[in-house]
Amino acid sequence: MKYLTRTIWLLSLVSLFTDLASEMLYPVMPLYLKSIGFSVVLIGVLEGVAEATAGLSKGYFGQWSDRLGQRRPFVQWGYGLSALSKPMLAVLAMPWWVFLARTLDRLGKGLRTGARDALLADEAAVGRQGAVFGFHRALDTLGAVVGPAVALLWLAQHPGQYRTLFLLAFVPGLVAVLVTFLVREKPSLPSGRPVVPFWASFSYWRRAPATYRRIGGALLVFALFNSSDTLLLLLARQQGLSEAAVVGVYIFYNLVYAAAAFPTGLLADRLGPRRILVLGLLLFAAVYGGATQAHTWPWFGLLFGLYGLYAAATEGISKAWISQLCAPTDKGAALGTFAGLSSLAALGASSITGVIWQTLGAQAAFGLSAAVAAAVALFLSVSSLATAPKE
């Protein structure tokens, strides 16, 4: 596996440690925020502002990295800001300070995402993009398995000690930052494009190749109906699973995702990303279509296992495909713009699904998401593709 270069390994380890740090806090953040006086509405506003910050900044910093022809500084600063945000939560419990810390964390994600994905794409040998992005997703998701487990073990021994947990989460975050200094970046040509203002973060979309807009647009339509995993977990709880069983199937989902991401990437390189992505969308449709009919943990275990396969067949594969639909000097902008628009679509997705669930019921909400996924899969399977532009 010589195509997994030193840089790919290092970036994957950086993502593993960063996700470990973030996922240590994911299960406890709502509990902590409520303990310091946040209402459900304020928690929603906090997460909305944080995710909007990440979404709006991904395209902007991706274009900036293209213009300079440099990736590593954006990766280092991005992971550095996210690591710094963890201990900040332990310093003060004031709402404005929590807003600052969460926004800093998401700004770091926006700062690094386009440049990191472009760096992975630059390192990938021809015909190995799926394997590279799949390997990266595998290690990233492994952090999502270990992080919650560490948090649960800590809180079982030290109930309510959230602030100490925030300090502990700084350790893997700091390790991730230190590893970025070992990354070596291949020289790349600056794009030479003029600086765009922050509000024009997604200006790349207008000049992107038609194939990029067609494929990316279809995936963004799906993203607009792909609600947060929280709603799927909430449905499982509502359908009769215990809290422990809900946590169990979520961990199982991440394990399947982590185990399948790399082999799925290899398969995408052999069969083409389109086929694997279409298969992933059909798996999503099956899971969301069947979730409202399941009532026992074995059925939900099967569905969440399929959901892990769906994630493995779409998350990294979509990035690998997008990286092939743009000019070499536009990879940061192309990947950052797609990631940013996907983040913003995800903000609306949970709201849309939640409103439909509340007004028409869970079957209508999840059924609509399943139908949209199937429709996008059909579109991608028949859509004509052009050759990626070269410069």
The pLDDT, as a whole number, for residue 390 is 44
Residue 306 CB contacts under 8 Å (≥ 6 apart), including other chains? 283, 286, 287
d(CA 225, CA 371): 10
Burial class (CB in 10 A: 0-12, 13-18, 19+), 291: buried
Residue 209 backbone zone (phi > 0: left; psi -120 to 50: alpha; other: beta): beta
DSSP H helical segments within the chain, as ranges?
A: 6-25, 29-35, 40-68, 72-91, 95-123, 129-157, 162-180, 204-207, 210-223, 229-238, 243-271, 273-291, 297-322, 331-360, 362-382
Of 102-106, 169-173, 382-386, the poorest mean pLDDT is in 382-386
Task: Check: CB of residue 236 under 8 Å from CB of residue 300.
Answer: yes
Q: Choose between 85 and 237: higher pLDDT.
A: 85
CATH superfamily of 6-181+204-382: MFS general substrate transporter like domains (1.20.1250.20)
What is the per-residue pLDDT across 284-314, written as a single tens digit (0 to 9) for each? 999 999 988 888 888 888 999 999 999 999 9
Buried/exposed 34-66: b ≥16 CB within 10 Å, e otherwise: eeeebeeeeeeebbeebbbbbbbbbbbbbbbbb
Residue 182 CB contacts under 8 Å (≥ 6 apart), including other chains? 10
**How is 79-94 classified by DSSP, letter by letter?**
HHHHHHHHHHHHH---
Which token pair is 11?
């970036």
Domain residue extents for the chain: 6-181+204-382
The pLDDT, as a whole number, for residue 249 is 83
The pLDDT, as a whole number, for residue 204 is 83
The DSSP secondary-structure symbol of 186 reads P
What is the per-residue pLDDT across 98-109, written as a single tens digit (0 to 9) for each? 888 888 888 898
d(CA 57, CA 110): 5
